[in-house]
A and B are shown apart, each in its own frame.
Chain A
Amino acid sequence: SAVISQKPSRDICQRGTSLTIQCQVDSQVTMMFWYRQQPGQSLTLIATANQGSEATYESGFVIDKFPISRPNLTFSTLTVSNMSPEDSSIYLCSVEEYGPADTQYFGPGTRLTVL
């Protein structure tokens, strides 16, 4: 399976600032996803990031708040803008691999705390 890394692994930020999270994959993948996991909750899909086109956002998430870049087939970034304490969550990227076992694999996550 693909090896996925995320930076930073964790951060503590001040209200009103922005943080950019990086996701790097060791192989080329078509589809990358960004999820949010609020404390004690399940995972919620923020958006699908496709190379060469704009990200597709889920209901309740907007590009101004969560801009996403996908410059190539191995890299994506998610920015959490104008942060508030409600943005404190784990943010995970995932990639989908096709083949005998089409599966989404997840990165290690970025644990964000907003003060």
Chain B
Amino acid sequence: AQKVTQAQTEISVVEKEDVTLDCVYETRDTTYYLFWYKQPPSGELVFLIRRNSFDEQNEISGRYSWNFQKSTSSFNFTITASQVVDSAVYFCALIPSNFGNEKLTFGTGTRLTIIP
């Protein structure tokens, strides 16, 4: 069984500060995929990134960056120079590479508030 833990329930930072959202996962599968999704107040779930278990390269996309460390089973998400529009609930998720039986396991989410 899979498990995703987002220990930070809520985070508040002042605009322009950097913030890191933590994600720790558990799985017995050797091949799996990790995701981050953003859920703004409107409720829609927006896909941000997908990372497979064989690719431990960090990724940067604009102000967003992700740090995947297999040794610590973590997939952390950093927002640089935060903006008010970044305020949302962020979910980390995992899916095993078992085509035909894919089920996303979500963490409990981290509510991020950016204070203007």
Contact = CB atoms under 8 A, between A and B. Distances in A.
Interface in B48-95: 50, 91, 95
Contacts of A94: 45
Interface in A92-115: 92, 94, 96, 101-109, 111
Count class of interface residues, chain A: 20 to 34
Given A103-B50, A104-B104, A106-B37, A42 B109 contact: yes
Contacts of B42: 108
Q: Which DSSP category, helix, strand, loop or mixed, fits chain A's interface?
A: strand
Contact of A101 (B43, B50, B103, B106): B50
A45 B105 CA distance: 9
A72 interface: no
Contacts of A63: none
A111 B43 contact: yes
Given A101-B50, A108-B44, A109-B43, A45 B104 contact: yes
Most buried by B among A42, A94, A103: A42
A6 B12 CA distance: 32
Interface of B: 33, 35, 37, 42-47, 50, 91, 95, 102-104, 106-109
Interface of A: 1, 31, 41-43, 45, 48, 90, 92, 94, 96, 101-109, 111
28 contacts: A1-B47, A31-B102, A41-B108, A42-B91, A42-B106, A42-B107, A42-B108, A42-B109, A43-B45, A45-B104, A48-B103, A94-B45, A96-B102, A101-B50, A102-B33, A103-B35, A103-B47, A103-B50, A104-B47, A104-B95, A104-B104, A106-B37, A106-B45, A106-B47, A107-B44, A109-B44, A109-B45, A111-B43
